[in-house]
Amino acid sequence: MPLASTNFKGVIKTVLVTTATLCLSPTVSLAANGRLPGNISPLHYDLTVIPNIEASTFAGEVHVDIDVATATPTVVLNAESLTLDRVTIDGTPATGVTFDKDSQTATLTAASPLPPGHHTVDIAYRGQIEKSARGLFQLDYTATDAPAGGKGGANVSAHMLSTQFEAGDARRFLPCWDEPSAKATFTLSVMAPQGQMAVSNMPVKTDEAMADGRHLVHFQPTPRMSSYLLFVAVGDLERATAKAGDVEIGVVVRRGSVDKARFALETAAAILARYNDYFGTPYPLPKLDFIATPGAGGFGAMENWGAIMSFEKDMLLDPALATEEARQRVFQVVAHEMAHQWFGDLVTMAWWDDLWLNEGFASWMEAKAMDALHPDWSPWLVAMPAMERAKRLDARAATHPVVQPINSVAEADEAFDDITYDKGQAVIRMVEATVGETVFRDGVRRYMKRHAYGNATTRDLFKAVEEAGAKDALRIATDFITKPGIPLVSVSATCGAGNSPKPHKGKKGAKETAPAMAGGGTQVSLRQARFATEPVTIPDQYHLSDRLWAIPVPLATVGAAGGVASSPSHALLTALTGKAAAPGCGPLLANAGQTGYFRTAYTEPAFKALVDHVDRLAPIDQLGLMYDSAALGEAGQMAMSDSLSLVRALRPDADPSVWEQAADYLRDVDGYYAGRPGQAAFRAFARGVLAPVLSAIGWDPQPGQGDKVGLTRAALIRALSSFDATETLTEAERRLAADGTDPTALPPGIRLAVITAVAQHADAATFDRLHALASSTTDALARRQLYGALGAVRDPALAQKVLDLSLTPEVGTTIAPQLILAVADANPDLAWRFVTAHIDAVEATLDQMQRYEFFAGVARRSSDPARIGELNAYAEAHVPATARQGVAKAAGEIAYRAKVAQERLPQVDSWLAALPATH
Strands across the sheet with 155-164, in order?
135-144, 155-164, 232-235, 197-200
Residue pair 186/45 in contact by the 8 Å Cβ criterion? yes
Question: Residues in the chain, how many?
Answer: 919
Residue pair 525/493 in contact by the 8 Å Cβ criterion? yes
Residue pair 911/882 in contact by the 8 Å Cβ criterion? no
Cα dist from 76 to 108, 124, 411, 812, 903, whole Å: 6, 16, 21, 39, 56
DSSP collapsed to 3 states, 684-712: HHHHHHHHHHHHHHCCCCCCCCCHHHHHH
Q: How far apart (Å, rounded) are the C-alpha atoms in residues 565 and 572?
A: 21
Q: What are phi and psi of 103, to 5 degrees?
A: -90, -5
Q: How far apart (Å, rounded) are the C-alpha atoms in residues 226 and 180?
A: 5
* DSSP one-letter string for 52-83: ETTTTEEEEEEEEEEEESS-EEEEEEE-SSEE
Strands 185-192 and 155-164: unpaired
Cα dist from 20 to 23, 83, 84, 86, 644, whole Å: 7, 10, 10, 11, 68
Q: Is 727 a catalytic residue?
A: no
Q: Which residues pair with 47 in a beta bridge?
A: 62, 188
Cα dist from 819 to 296, 367, 860, whole Å: 12, 29, 16
Q: How far apart (Å, rounded) are the C-alpha atoms in residues 95 and 375?
A: 63
Residue pair 167/411 in contact by the 8 Å Cβ criterion? no
Q: What are phi and psi of 543, to 5 degrees?
A: -85, 165
Question: Residue 807, SS3?
Answer: coil
Q: Report CA torsion sign: 153, 155, 158, 162.
A: positive
Known binding-site positions: 166, 300-304, 336, 340, 359, 851
Q: Tell me the one-letter amino acid at 800.
A: Q
Q: How far apart (Å, rounded) are the C-alpha atoms in residues 632 and 667?
A: 18
CA 835 to chain centre: 24
Q: How far apart (Å, rounded) are the C-alpha atoms in residues 515 and 535?
A: 38
Residue pair 338/268 in contact by the 8 Å Cβ criterion? yes
Closest CA to 124 of 12, 30, 211, 39: 12
Residue pair 530/486 in contact by the 8 Å Cβ criterion? yes
Q: How far apart (Å, rounded) are the C-alpha atoms in residues 752 and 762?
A: 15
Closest CA to 423 of 443, 403, 438, 448: 403
**Which contiguous run of DSSP H or E holds residue 749?**
helix 748-760
**Active-site residue (options: 80, 324, 337, 414):** 337
Question: Residue 387, SS3?
Answer: helix
Strands across the sheet with 486-496, in order?
577-582, 521-531, 486-496, 599-602
**Which contiguous run of DSSP H or E holds residue 854?**
helix 854-859
Q: How far apart (Å, rounded) are the C-alpha atoms in residues 256 and 148?
A: 7
Helices (H) and strands (E) in the chain, counts: 30, 29
Exposed, middle or buried: residue 918 (CB in 10 Å: 0-12, 13-18, 19+)? exposed
| Residues taking part in catalysis | 337
